[in-house]
């Protein structure tokens, strides 16, 4: 496959699946009180997901958003070069986390503005997992 946009989108979604599984495990173990889908819920619904249908729709929405972030990452690869791609994936993911968390404070989004240290650490860990996975999946597609 040579379509970089499609490869980036698929890679972002597959990476989201891996990161979201870990995020759900941490949530079910009560380590974190927020799932990645809750970010999408607050942005799109104005509140945390409160029922099964909202959880499903917001999980899909969050994964599509991660697919779009995969497109952004694959499109910047020519500018940043493809060697050390996994480390660059982690850095890219961390920058996204910083930007998105900053936006929650800047726009005073309820339920996202103030989070616990455990939730922050969970977000960092799962974000790093996403960055690693998106880079590895893109490399697997040999789209560089």
Helix ranges, 30-116 (H)? 36-45, 52-80, 85-106
Residue appearing with tokens 């726009």? 107
- Each of the 144 residues of the chain gets a pLDDT tens digit; together they read 689 999 999 999 999 999 999 999 999 999 999 999 999 999 999 999 999 999 999 999 999 999 999 999 999 999 988 889 999 999 999 999 999 999 999 999 888 888 999 999 999 999 999 999 999 999 999 756
Rounded Cα gap, residues 49 and 42, in angstroms = 8
Rounded Cα gap, residues 27 and 30, in angstroms = 5
Q: Does pTM top 0.85 for this prediction?
A: yes
């Amino acid at each position: 496959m040579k379509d970089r946009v499609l490869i980036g989108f698929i890679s972002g979604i597959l990476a989201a699946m891996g990161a979201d599984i870990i995020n759900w495990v941490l949530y079910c173990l009560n380590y974190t009180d927020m799932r990645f889908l809750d970010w999408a819920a607050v942005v799109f619904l104005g509140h945390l997901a409160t029922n099964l249908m909202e959880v499903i729709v917001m999980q899909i929405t969050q994964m599509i958003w991660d697919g779009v972030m995969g497109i952004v990452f694959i499109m910047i690869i020519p500018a940043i070069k493809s060697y050390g791609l996994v480390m660059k994936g982690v850095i890219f993911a961390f920058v996204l986390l910083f930007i998105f968390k900053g936006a929650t404070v800047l726009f005073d989004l309820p339920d996202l503005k103030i989070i616990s240290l455990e939730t922050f650490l969970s977000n960092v860990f799962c974000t790093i997992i996403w960055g690693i996975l998106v880079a590895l999946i893109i490399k697997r597609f040999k789209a560089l």
